[in-house]
Amino acid sequence: MRAGPLALLLAPLIPVVHGIWPFKQKRFMAEALYNAGTLGLPKDAGRVVAIGDVDGDQNSDLFMLSQDRKTLHVMVWNRDAFMYEERDTVTFEHEITNVTPADFNGDGRMDLLVMWSANSGGGFWGNKGKMSTDMEIIMGNEGGLSKGERWSLPPAGLAQPMLFDDDLDLSPSLLGFAETQDGPKIKAWRNTGHAMRLFTPMLKPIDQVCQLTHPPAGAHSSAFIDMDGDCAPDVVLHCGGAKANNRKLQVWLNRGKEGYILSNTWNLPLGSRSISYADMNRNGAMDLVFPTCKRVLPSTGLGEACKIHVAYNNQAGLCNTKTSQYSPSGRIICRGYDELCSADPYFDFQFWENSPEFPTVAIDKLFPGFKLMINVPGHTDVPLPIRPGDFDVDGFPDLLITISDGKKSLVKVLHNVPCGKDVPGCGNFSAKYSRGFQVLGGKGWEALEAIEDAIGASWIDLDDDGSLDIMVHRTGKQDGETVTFIQNNFYHDAFFLKGQVLNGACDRRRCFPVDGGKPYSALGCSISGATFKFTSFDTRGNRHAQNVAQLPQTCYHSLLSPHTFMGLGRTNNYIENLKVGTSLKSDENRVTSLDGVIPNSQVILNPPWSRALRTNETVLYRSKEWRTELFLHPGDWIPWVAAAVVGTVVTLGMVVVWLGEREKREDEKERRRALHAINFQAL
């Protein structure tokens, strides 16, 4: 009976104690993958077409199309509620084919490039007319994208243009083919700050440009990414060949004021499909990952006799010295660990079977009875590339693929592991082969394996917790969900780094409008093509170089995050030397360096604003120099460390007090003995 009044008195204190209690209950307890459901996305909506940061809060927001592709839902992540909330909707008269977030007008807000397929009409004679890719840009607005100003762009050909930097000032331009009186010609949609106008791009020699592939033959995988190791993004074009199943790859090297100079053209293996780019063997060079198939049935999206290939980028490795070493002819032999951005114009790829530089994994051997899904069934304009991502943060990207046996479609993760006996991708195992792949599954993977209607998947870091989760696109036939999130709750004894390079539109990450409006965050303005290149040590003391690109691809639902995720593996040291490169024209400002970066942190870099100032500027303060900010990632162990420190201090304090009291008692006893001795002598 006495407990009742006491409980009533303590009841109001429970929320207060819960609020200040530092040991928060974990959302997921066991080490496993968890089905997190739709996390607030409309259950009957279509596909997620792009990832961005709408409000600049460092979270991954989503752009989701409706089933008819005419409505775009802007879904913003709510960290407190651990779910997405609809912030805005934008409606169109056309079926949207692609969406690309970027800051086009330089006001520090994220804008949206929208593309759709159009037909010029056939006239009276019944021809079908010419197909084109029409485009417009929706400007970011305080009231939402639906209220933003719109730029209308000159149309492109069938192939979607890609983002790149035409005049080397970090303003996003477009590169693609446009119809002219002389037929389709390579063009740059150059960003003037208030419009996108057609110019001849700075590609030399311009007459050597190959034709980009496009649906239904296959979507191209062109990229704006560093290929020769100088940390400046180059132009990589994925082109068609003489026959429908042939493909080519062209690399145009960024040479600053000289423009983009043709380096080489490679014939890709017969039946090659979408290309992804990643440093697969952790040597500081950007490699190619792509499948080959004998044929692909567009209605199902499944390929016959498919194989996964990794084409390693053969270029100068890492020296054990600070400075680079060169041959007598001037060719670079290896890069010094203090000169990571030294160019190697002699880089090369090998595309023949049984080469250690071109390992191959057959899908039917990894998954008997299953085929690789190459594109969304019935939609050749939505390819499903092999998606690299460092699932276990060991520094070696793993691969995310979708397979099907005609009845069920599954998502699988291929773990990037050291070569050994019977490891797929290691050929006849020898010291020449470095990495292979193992299929992850079994205990802890039940949530992913239970999904049997997948039509694509991509990596995403939910809640910015330093681990890559999985976003699965589905048909909805299994349980009605068209998008399901799989939360990665495995513990990996390794470190990571997150990076972001802004465009310099606003100083100190905050934008102050000229008209005196409310300041806003500029963290939604990641640039395309930035390079993170760094060295770190493993626990054995071996130095490794890594290369990670920021937003290198922007066409055909690339689904790349604006925040670059880098696994570091197990290390007991700082990141020794971090180089960050951009496409700036000036050699002085193109690359910046950071030393002693702390693992498990986020680094945000803001380069100097290099565009000419206009009379109608919308922002008060532009960035004038490279500015770097480092944010430590709060770990779950921090409260426990704090508790241990406090406990240790309290314990030591109690010991000191007890020893002090004991010392006082001993001193008192000593004083009394001395007094007793004096009195005895007096007698």
Residue range 268-295, pLDDT digits in tens: 999 999 999 999 999 999 999 999 999 9
Where does the pLDDT of residue 369 fall: very low under 50, low under 70, confident under 90, or very high at 90 and above? very high
Report phi then psi at 96, rounded to 5: -75, 135
Residue pair 470/448 in contact (Cβ under 8 Å)? The answer is yes
Tokens of 40: 């607030």
Q: Tell me what pLDDT residue 285 has.
A: 96
Q: Tell me what pLDDT residue 126 has.
A: 45
User: Is 124's pLDDT higher than 50?
Assistant: no
Q: Tell me what pLDDT residue 492 has.
A: 85
Residue range 51-75, pLDDT digits in tens: 999 999 999 999 999 999 999 999 9
Burial class of residue 111, CB neighbours in 10 A (0-12, 13-18, 19+): buried
Q: Tell me what pLDDT residue 636 has.
A: 60
For the chain, helix, strand, coil in percent to 5 are: 15, 40, 50
Between residues 161 and 142, the one the model is more confident about: 161
Q: Tell me what pLDDT residue 125 has.
A: 45
Residue pair 591/341 in contact (Cβ under 8 Å)? The answer is yes
Neighbouring residues of 618: CB distance < 8 A, sequence distance ≥ 6: 105, 106, 107, 513, 514
Q: Tell me what pLDDT residue 516 has.
A: 86
User: Is 522's pLDDT higher than 60?
Assistant: yes
Residue range 155-212, pLDDT digits in tens: 999 999 999 999 999 999 999 999 888 889 999 999 998 899 999 999 999 999 999 9
> In 10 A of CB 629, how many CB atoms?
12
C-alpha distances out from residue 397 to 125, 267, 401, Å: 54, 25, 13
Tokens of 517: 């409006």
C-alpha distances out from residue 506 to 106, 135, 454, 513, 607, Å: 9, 27, 41, 10, 10
| Closest C-alpha to 405, from 443, 446, 372, 447 | 372
Q: Tell me what pLDDT residue 301 has.
A: 96
Residue 173's region, left for phi above 0, alpha for psi from -120 to 50, else beta, is beta
Residue 322's region, left for phi above 0, alpha for psi from -120 to 50, else beta, is alpha
Arithmetic mean of pLDDT, 528-541:
93
**β-sheet with 469-474: strand ranges across:** 33-37, 483-488, 469-474, 454-460
C-alpha distances out from residue 656 to 11, 36, 114, 348, 666, Å: 38, 51, 69, 68, 15
| Mean residue pLDDT across the chain | 90
> In 10 A of CB 139, how many CB atoms?
18
Residue range 265-275, pLDDT digits in tens: 999 999 999 99
Where does the pLDDT of residue 589 fall: very low under 50, low under 70, confident under 90, or very high at 90 and above? confident
Can you tell me the distance from the alpha carbon of 52 to that of 55, in angstroms, rounded to the nearest whole number? 9
Query: DSSP state, 471?
Result: E
Can you tell me the distance from the alpha carbon of 381 to that of 679, in angstroms, rounded to the nearest whole number? 108
Report phi then psi at 14, rounded to 5: -60, -50
Q: Tell me what pLDDT residue 310 has.
A: 96
Neighbouring residues of 530: CB distance < 8 A, sequence distance ≥ 6: 233, 501, 549, 550, 551, 564, 580, 581, 582
Where does the pLDDT of residue 375 fall: very low under 50, low under 70, confident under 90, or very high at 90 and above? very high
Residue pair 546/284 in contact (Cβ under 8 Å)? The answer is yes
Q: Tell me what pLDDT residue 428 has.
A: 72
User: Is 656's pLDDT higher than 80?
Assistant: yes
Q: Tell me what pLDDT residue 19 has.
A: 46
User: Is 571's pLDDT higher than 80?
Assistant: yes
Can you tell me the distance from the alpha carbon of 131 to that of 514, in angstroms, rounded to the nearest whole number? 42
